[in-house]
Amino acid sequence: MSYKEIFSYKALIESELEKRVVQRDAPEILKKAMLYSLSAGGKRIRPCLMLEFYRCLGKNPDEILNFACAVEMIHTYSLIHDDLPCMDDDDMRRGKPSNHKVFGEDTALLAGDALLTLAFETACDIDENIDASRALKAVKYIADASGLTKMVGGQVLDLQAENKQISIEELEKIQEGKTAALLKVNAFVACTLANADKNTTKLFVDYCDCIGRAFQIRDDILDVIGDEKSLGKPIGSDEQMNKNTYVSLLGLEKSQQLVDELTDCAVKAIKKATENSENLCSLALKLANRDF
Amino acid sequence: MSYKEIFSYKALIESELEKRVVQRDAPEILKKAMLYSLSAGGKRIRPCLMLEFYRCLGKNPDEILNFACAVEMIHTYSLIHDDLPCMDDDDMRRGKPSNHKVFGEDTALLAGDALLTLAFETACDIDENIDASRALKAVKYIADASGLTKMVGGQVLDLQAENKQISIEELEKIQEGKTAALLKVNAFVACTLANADKNTTKLFVDYCDCIGRAFQIRDDILDVIGDEKSLGKPIGSDEQMNKNTYVSLLGLEKSQQLVDELTDCAVKAIKKATENSENLCSLALKLANRDF
């Protein structure tokens, strides 16, 4: 068993994501734009985590594939909107031209809107084994995590911090919204749908929180020491854009130290949460030293 | 009893919309941008219709205020994104500078995203008298109406039709997505939550369909013969932008004739649907000749 097991859900998720768009009666160019970003080859870490958590809770991951896809659609829409000229103005994403470079700003904007909306439609399309009232709670968690107080709020704080020196606390608040919320929601959703108790839920959430923060710090590190080819994006862009990062605030060494501490914390939490923690422990360790 | 009764829900809806943003812990500028457009004084016709339908079905409208607000949030987000420079590039909306003119494109984009997301969070926040499984179905209706096959899809078709001569059928397909879907959804939601039968639901939906199409045609007429002050927007913009409208395709007289036929059809449907149809009949007649 290893972290690779977690990514074994990838094919299932990707085929379901594609199906949810391809089968709909919508303008071809819109579907193309949605699929372009949906199938741009992300790591699918969010939906894979959700399915693995659910498995750890003794349940069949197939039952909540729709929720996993919903979270990935939301992640994808946020990347499309982030890349727009009025936002980060990024021409490339995952080694390919960004959505608006291929489809134009108007269609890219609408493809993002459509993915966000489709996420909620997909989340509501529940398996017969799922309790409706728990499902409704899960959909609400997903909306909360992606909304004004979390993901979108984090984006706004990030815009405000541009070209400004901020504190490590302010940086953490930005990351909490921009990144951590959409990771933690996978724990909330899986635990809610599996009817896990409060304590177990908290441990899964803590795991997400720790690997999420470690992931972000490692991202900042890779923007300095990474390899453009394995990353699929140019390095040095944070410094060039004068962005506040963990590395700019703490330095390289202290940043990696923090990654290691957070990874340790993630491993401890998940071991307490479930007897089936092997894959998730392996994932936390892998992410701490990733170069992709 | 008259159409004015329907708009008596307005104050309730507006106070709830405001509360749903004000009470949240989010960046002030984001909340300001969301509230700016939410309280820009629309007619609130969509949420008012939903609550009135529910009342006609013998239910207490307070029970579904969250769903009514969700639909209005979605309508509002769509206006913000529509006005963006990469879309219609409109500087004014309802007699006030459009959202991005006040808050900048980046914040306007995010305010739209946040409103769309908050709509689903709000819809999931159900009253204790509402059945969870019906609620989930209602949320799905809302997502479907605003997504790739309907509202966003209609936007894309509209973009594709720019500076092109299209047929009346193509224009109707655009309007079906852009306007009709988010009107009809109020009937679907109210009927689903009130557990109305199929036939009744169809009649409420038909009513929405007819007044929706009449509304859009009247919109096109007002862009030619309207008064800028009572409309709160400049007239003649459709012709100036070379837009396909009912008036450009059918002429003024035939367009108003179509409005009257559709209104008649709406009145017939709603009279069959419910004994309490008085307000809704009055509304259909009022809208057919509106100058606002």
Question: What are the pLDDT digits (tens) for B42-96?
Answer: 889 999 999 999 999 999 999 999 999 999 999 999 999 999 999 999 999 988 9
Interface of B with A in 35-74 (CB under 8 A): none
- Least CA distance to B149: which residue of chain A? A26
Handedness of CA B234, B184, B182, B249 (dihedral sign): negative
- Least CA distance to B108: which residue of chain A? A86
Contact A117 B143 (CB under 8 A): yes
Q: Which of A77, A39, A194 is nearest to A127 (CA)?
A: A194
pLDDT for B95 equals 86
- pLDDT of B271 over the 80 cut: yes
Contact A137 B116 (CB under 8 A): no
Tell me what the pLDDT averaged over chain B comes to.
Answer: 95
A192 touches chain B (CB under 8 A): no
Contact B106 A87 (CB under 8 A): yes
Tell me the nearest-neighbour CA distance from B34 into chain A, angstroms.
10
Kindly report, residue by residue over B26-42, the tens digit of the pLDDT: 999 999 999 999 999 88
Question: Distances from the Cα of B199 to the Cαs of A286, B13, B209, in angstroms?
Answer: 58, 29, 15
Kindly report, residue by residue over B196-251, the tens digit of the pLDDT: 999 999 999 999 999 999 999 999 999 999 888 777 677 888 888 778 899 999 99
Contact B38, B75 (CB under 8 A): no
Whether ipTM > 0.85 holds is yes
Tell me the nearest-neighbour CA distance from A197 into chain B, angstroms.
21
φ/ψ (deg, to 5) at A134: -65, -40
pLDDT for B291 equals 84
Q: Quick one: DSSP state of residue B93?
A: E
Contact B232, B90 (CB under 8 A): no
Q: Quick one: DSSP state of residue A41?
A: -
What is the C-alpha to C-alpha distance for residues A231 and A218, in angstroms, rounded to an integer?
Answer: 12
Tell me the nearest-neighbour CA distance from B217 into chain A, angstroms.
23
- Provide, rounded to the nearest whole percent, the portion of chain B with pLDDT above 90: 87
What is the C-alpha to C-alpha distance for residues A121 and A57, in angstroms, rounded to an integer?
Answer: 25
**Structural domains of chain B, ranges and CATH numbers in brackets:** 3-288 (1.10.600.10)
CB pairs under 8 A between A and B: 159
Contact B156 A29 (CB under 8 A): yes
Tens-of-pLDDT digits for all 292 residues of chain A? 689 999 999 999 999 999 999 999 999 999 999 999 999 988 899 999 999 999 999 999 999 999 999 999 999 999 999 999 999 999 999 889 999 999 999 999 999 999 999 999 999 999 999 999 999 999 999 999 999 999 999 999 999 998 889 999 999 999 999 999 999 999 999 999 999 999 999 999 999 999 999 999 999 999 999 888 777 677 888 887 778 899 999 999 999 999 999 999 999 999 999 999 999 999 999 999 888 7
pLDDT for A20 equals 98
pLDDT for B230 equals 78
pLDDT for A235 equals 81
Interface of A with B in 124-153 (CB under 8 A): 124-126, 131-133, 135-137, 139-140, 143-144, 146-149, 152-153
pLDDT for B71 equals 98
| pLDDT average, residue stretch B122-132 | 98
Contact A199, A252 (CB under 8 A): no
Contacts of B159 in chain A (CB under 8 A): 106-107, 110
Q: Name which of A25, A133, A155 is nearest B149 (Cβ-Cβ).
A: A25
Contact A148 B118 (CB under 8 A): yes
Both tokens assigned to B35: 């509230």
What is the C-alpha to C-alpha distance for residues A73 and A81, in angstroms, rounded to an integer?
Answer: 12
Contact B109 A110 (CB under 8 A): no
What is the C-alpha to C-alpha distance for residues B51 and A137, in angstroms, rounded to an integer?
Answer: 24
- pLDDT of B5 over the 70 cut: yes
What is the C-alpha to C-alpha distance for residues A58 and B25, in angstroms, rounded to an integer?
Answer: 36
pLDDT for A1 equals 67
Both tokens assigned to B142: 């809302």
What is the C-alpha to C-alpha distance for residues B65 and A156, in angstroms, rounded to an integer?
Answer: 29
Both tokens assigned to B110: 């995010």
B161 touches chain A (CB under 8 A): no
